Each structure stands twice: as C-alpha cells, then as structure tokens.
Amino acid sequence: MKNRIIPLARKEILHILRDPRSLYGSLIMPIVLLILFGYAITFDIKHIALAIIDQDSSSLSRDFISRVEGSEYFDLLYLSSSSTGFEKLLDEGKVKIIMVIPKNFSRDLSKGEDCALQLLIDGSNNNTAQVALGYTSLLVQAFSSNIILEKLNSKGTALQAGVPPIDIRPSVWYNPDLRSVNFIVPGIIAVVMMVLASISSSLTIAREWETGTMEQLISTPARPFEITIGKLLPYFFLGFIQILLVILVGTLLFKVPLRGNILFLFCGSAVFLVCGSGIGLLISTITRSQQLAYMLSILFTLLPSFILSGFIFPISSMPRIIQFFTYLIPARYFLIILRGIFLKGNGIVTLWPETLALLFFASVIVLACARRLRLSLE
C-alpha cells in the first residue's frame, strides 16, 4: 500500500510545485486574511459621535459633560444650549447620539427629585445603538451614585470616605483586558483554514478529469482508499504550514496569548485539516469542473463556518433547528478547541468531546471520499 500511496502523493506535489504562484498565494493568503479580519472585525466600539444640548448651563451640568468628554467611548462633536436643527445631525449621520440635559437638571438633583435625561439614538445600526446605550447608562449611573454619596456624606449619614455600602470587585478570567481580538483571532484561524484547505483539495480529481489523466489514474493498481490518502497528504502538509503561519501571526502580531499545550494544538489542527481537505476532495469527486468545484467548496465551507460555528453569532441564541445543523459543522468543534487552548489553557481532559467529534468527522469524510471515488472509477 505504501508503494502505491507515495507515488500518488509525489504526483500531487509536482502539480503544486508546477504552479508556484498558486503555492505562494496559498501560503500568503491565510496571513493576509487573518490580518484583514483581525483588524476589521472588532466588538470594541469606541469614539461614538455625540452631541449634547445643555439647556441647564449649570455647574452640575458642566461637570456631567466633562465626565462624558473624559470617556474614551464618546467623541463630543457638538455642544449647544439650543435644540434647533440638532435632529439633522442624526438624519445626516454626523452623530449617533443626541443627549438633552433639561433646564431644571441642577435644581431637581439638588432637591433629590428625579430628573429626566433625554437620549436620541440612531438605531439604524442596532449593535452600535445597544452598545452606546449601555455606555451612556453606565456614565449616568456613576454620576448619580456620586451625587447620592455626596448628599449622604454631607448629612453625616454613614458612608466613610465616600465608599458605597456594596463594593463590587469584578475579576475577569481568561481575557482580563476584554480584548475582542483575543476572541476573534482564534475564530478567524478556524474559518480561514477550513476554507483554504477545502479549496486546495477540491481541484484535485476535477483537474484529472479536465486534463484527461483520469483514465491513467483508473488504470493504476491503487485502490480508491489509497488514492484518497495519496491525494490528501500533500494538501494536509500544506495546510499544516498554513496553520503554523497563522498561529505565529496571531501570537506575535495580535498578541493573542497561547496558554495551552502547543502539541495538543497541532494535533487538533491536524485532525481539523483532514476534515477540511476531505470536504474539498469529496466535492472534487462529485464534480468534473475545477471552476464548479471551487465555487462549491466556498459555498459549503465559508458560509457554514462563518455563520454556524459560533465564530460571530452565539449558537445558544440561534433557533433550535439551526442549532441542530451547527453540530454538522467541523469548525464549531475546532473553534472551541482553539479558544480553549489559546485563552484558557485547556487540554485533552477538558476538550476531549470536541476532539472526539473532529476525529469522527475526519473518519467519515475520508471514508465517504474513498467510496465516492470508487463509484467514479467504476
């Protein structure tokens, strides 16, 4: 069997080396995609354009405005005491929030009465609107708490040195700085490698049909399973080099911590590469056109891996029927493994269910490729 697999693998390596531009592209592309997505996709929303209408013009309202200006989340672009024409700022997209401080802002707070602060928020981008509303609520709550503490202290009521009765001391595990890039980069690695691995291997059998060498392959004594392994091996090692490159970029350029066992990371990546390359080869056995194989590989890997793996959208928030389909996406399991190894330092003891699932998918896909190839050769 070894004597039949190695010549097939060598033949596929020669195909790769005869097209150096595609080879260099396959090595550079994952790095380029990781850099582009790593900088472009972020959940850290800052510098939200803000306009304030200060109808009170008191020392208390100015103190509140200075607190808003001091926040890194808002950029105060417009400040006025008149509301005339301010709605146009939202219409034209110049600001995302208009904050209206009422006339009796200072008087009502001094008397201990409720004070209504009006917010006009551009909801055309619901994610930005929700984040902006959350930031604004936190600022208002902090300002209100300070006023209450000052009043209690002025009356001699019980709070030593302005310390509130409930002291919250949060401790964030695994991602203490709450950097979204630590969450995004492992997901990008999973999505990019699934797509590139499947695209590379999806052209193999289709190329044999297009170049007219399929008859020669049929006449060889190699069995379908041996042809499958021989075709997969070169792209497996090529994908392993790609994995190594994107891990280096993720840890060195984006400073994503790698807390887990790197050997376990490579083992999990190897099984995932078999899944990705196997899906591409399975597509290649179905089609006889490289162009069609290329399009199908993108369709069956990019969209499912991007949308249904939990990379961007939490699986728990999806409809039940969609959650069921996510179990059929290998990138879902590899994504959990990557984030567990990178951020939590997890090992096989914790991640064995996902590792076992990837092994199952890899076995099924390879067997499906061999069976489909047998039907093609008959």
State mean pLDDT over 115-124: 83
- For domain 48-162, the CATH class is alpha beta
Which range has the worst mean pLDDT, 23-27, 46-50, 343-347?
Answer: 23-27
What pTM value is reported for the model?
0.78
Torsion angles phi and psi, residue 154, rounded to 5: -65, -25
CA-closest candidate to residue 298, choices 186, 185, 189, 192: 192
Contact present, 281 and 205 (Cβ < 8 Å):
yes
Round to whole Å and give the CA distance between 287 and 278.
Answer: 14
pLDDT digits (tens, 9 = 90+) for 355-371: 999 999 999 998 988 88
For residue 161, what pLDDT is reported? 47
Domain spans of the chain, in order of start: 2-42+179-377, 48-162
pLDDT digits (tens, 9 = 90+) for 205-256: 777 777 767 666 666 677 777 778 888 888 888 888 889 999 999 999 998 9
pLDDT digits (tens, 9 = 90+) for 286-297: 887 888 888 888
Bridge partners of residue 52, in order along the sequence: 79, 99
Round to whole Å and give the CA distance between 219 and 221.
Answer: 7
